[in-house]
Amino acid sequence: MEFTQLLIIVFGMALVTAVPRIVPLGFLAGRPMPIWFEVWLKYVPISILSAMLIVDVVWRENELDLSPATNLMMHATLIAFLIAWYTRSLFATVAGGVIVLALLRHFS
């Protein structure tokens, strides 16, 4: 692939990524919105975070991996949830999960 062609693709990617990122913050902030929409928006963060998390955890190498024996991420996730629930600490959750996963990988 030619370099100029590659550059055009990269700029195209940048454009289609930037526009959805900018438009709401730049041009929809502070506008009154319908009540149902505001209620819906309230549930967007937890929904989007949950969807991203589950895909990260159980979608391994392009297929569903729900086996506790091969998918060590699931154990780390469970423990990280417990840590998050009891400590309410971002740092403890991230550190705990990373350590658990590293130990599991080391001993399996």
Q: 44 to 103, contacts with other proteins by CB under 8 A?
A: 44-59, 64, 73, 76-77, 80-81, 84-103
81: phi then psi, degrees, rounded to nearest 5 = -65, -45
Q: How far is the CB of 17 from other proteins (least distance, A)?
A: 5
Q: Count interface residues toward other proteins (CB under 8 A).
A: 83
> Between 36 and 69, whose beta carbon lies closer to other proteins?
36
Half-sphere exposure of 33 (CA within 13 A, CB side): 13
Q: Which of residues 3-22 bind other proteins (CB under 8 A)?
A: 3, 5-14, 16-18, 20-22
For residue 2, the 8-state DSSP code is -
What distance in Å separates the CA atoms of residue 108 and residue 105, rounded to the nearest whole number?
5
